[in-house]
Amino acid sequence: MPELPEVETVRRGLAHLVSGYHFDEVQELHPRVRKSSSLSPISAIEGARITGVNRRGKFLWFELDRPEVLVAHLGMSGQFLIQQRERPVARHVRALFKISKGVREKELVFNDQRTFGWLSIEELADGIPSSVAHIARDPFDPGFDKAMAIRKYARRNVKIKTALLSQEIMSGVGNIYADEALWWAKVHPEVRTNEMSLKKIEIVIDCAIEVMGEAILQGGTSFDDLYINVDGASGFFEQSLAAYGQTDRPCPRCGTPIRRIVLGQRSSHFCPRCQRKRR
């Protein structure tokens, strides 16, 4: 599933390529592309001008010259792509947007092989769409309160990996970057948050910020063509992964083979030497 760095890469691509364009024609091409709670069919935004593209955690939305916004969640394999003649036509188009800016015309598609992504027309409350209201600020949000997040993590009696995956305290971190942040911080994924010092929790958060920042600079992590940017480019952070997906490969820090365990029905990867579970 695309995580914060991938969604931010998509947001930046959209903001650069479609801001100022009008939605001339909108087609819903799959029955599940529109979220059931959407205020109206997606075609209701026809005629609207895109004034910006915003994001919180793994959600993004198109800001329009009207009160409503177009919200998107990429799910497992959702992609926004600008159709280009020199690139193969997208094979799993769930929604088509014909957009224009003066004499310039483009086709923007929402492509989603696994159909877990969705689009929705929503209203804003304090600048946030209704379906995103329960999502905490992510660490790149100017309003993110790191000190408060540290205190909330410390009050919970949960494994740190589980805590990072929850979107209720700090959003945007998924399985990939949770594993990487914990490797950077030298913290075992099963350590419980109420047994960690405030300083250690802060280090984990700082490592999450650092590793996701690095991933954004490299365009995110692309294991296959299920995640590509708006212009069809793949991300290159896969080449920098130290723990996630590196089972039995040597730890880049100490050479010990990376181990994989299942935690909460998800794979967790860590170095058993660098990330020892203290007793």
Tell me which residues are annotated as active site: 2-3, 58, 266
Tokens read off for 54? 């915003």
Q: Which H, E and C letters describe the chain, residue by residue?
A: CCCHHHHHHHHHHHHHHHCCCEEEEEEECCCCCECCCCCCCHHHHCCCEEEEEEEECCEEEEEECCCCEEEEECCCCEEEEECCCCCCCCCCEEEEEEEEECCEEEEEEEEECCCCCEEEEECEECCEEHHHCCCCCCCCCCCCCHHHHHHHHHHCCCEHHHHHHCCCCCCCCCHHHHHHHHHHHCCCCCCEHHHCCHHHHHHHHHHHHHHHHHHHHCCCECCCCCCCCCCCCCCEHHHHCCCCCCCCCECCCCCCECEEEEECCEEEEECCCCCCCCC
Q: Which residues contact 152 (CB under 8 A, 6 or more apart)?
A: 169
